[in-house]
Amino acid sequence: MRMTEPVLVTGAGGFIGRHLVRALAQRGQPVLAMGRRIEGTAPAGVETVDAGATDPAVFAPLLARSSAVVHLASVSTPGSSAGRPLAELDNLRLCLALLEALQAHPHVPLLYVSSGGTLYGDSAHGQAQEARPLHPKSYYGAGKASAEHFIDAWCSQYGGSATVLRPSNVYGPGQSERPGFGIVPGAMGKLLRGEPLTVWGDGSAQRDYLYIDDFVALCLAALDAPMPRGMRVFNAASGIGTSLGALLETIETVAGRALARVNAPQRSVDVSHIALDTSRAREAYGWAAATPLAEGIRRTWAWFASSPR
């Protein structure tokens, strides 16, 4: 990655996008921050582009200036596209428009943020490695898998370089409360208002919760390292599985108050157990998650409880 030329970040107004743009800017890296919900004053060296592009022509002049592109833009969740496969079209249109524009700029490396929590299906026996066959249960996961195949095809046809990161459940300060976008802010919002949280299933579903700073560190490491031609895939996770019930208890302990819960039948789109093997990222980048869940929840609650509603 060339520090004198900007990194194009799509979805820069989202949770991960805001953190990544800030981290890049703090290192003195120019950034083209592309998104629909970019708020506030941009840090020095950050140029905002207010667009949700589905036209390759919009990407073309931005890629001509860029040393790399990070594709984060996404408008759906497993829950929001449940029963609505067409809801994934917007995500695919964004990705395919970017890839079509990249055909003229195969020298620009692509970092794509996929999903480790939805692609593999249930992994009750051992940790899922990147080579494991994909078995998404949700249309959201199927959309991510489709995007990865298109990226791989672009690399094969045009000699492009792509790194795909498959993160587990990323959480942390700055993640706003939106239906379907993160259990951590959803639970904290209900806790602050004294409202009950709907729990899908009995609370035994196990996930891996990855603190935002740890994931951003992996994104930076992937951008810093030379990207060989072709597509490489890396899981990103804390390496520690936590049941939903244990997560909610951790939030209650940190907040010092009880969270009312209402149980509902488990949804067919939800994975009951997922664990990811991160040895490939450790070997390639020397990366490992460093933030314990209790500490990450403490930092997140401090931000969430003090943020204006």
Q: What is the pLDDT of residues 16-26, one digit of tens each?
A: 999 999 999 99
What are the structural domains of the chain?
Answer: 7-171+210-239+272-290 (3.40.50.720)
Q: Which band of pLDDT confidence, cut at 50, 70 and 90, is reported for residue 39?
A: low
SS3 of 107, please?
A: coil
In this prediction the pTM is: 0.94
One-letter amino acid for residue 175 of the chain: Q
Per-residue model confidence (pLDDT) at position 40 = 63
CA dist 35 and 124 (Å) reads 37
Q: Is the pLDDT of residue 157 over 60?
A: yes
Cα 197 to the center of its chain, rounded Å: 23
Return the sign of the alpha-carbon dihedral for residues 196, 201, 202, 203.
Answer: negative
Q: What is the pLDDT of residues 115-134, one digit of tens each?
A: 998 888 877 667 889 999 99
Average pLDDT over residues 248-256: 97
Return the sign of the alpha-carbon dihedral for residues 293, 111, 79, 19.
Answer: positive
Contact 91, 133 (CB under 8 A): no
Contact 57, 36 (CB under 8 A): no
Helix axes 183-193, 244-255, angle to 10 degrees: 40
Alpha-carbon distance values, 282 to 136, 230, 242, 288, 289 (Å): 25, 20, 21, 6, 10
* Distance from the first to the final alpha carbon of the chain: 38
Contact 21, 33 (CB under 8 A): yes
The closest of 181, 192, 205 to 257, measured between CA atoms, is: 192
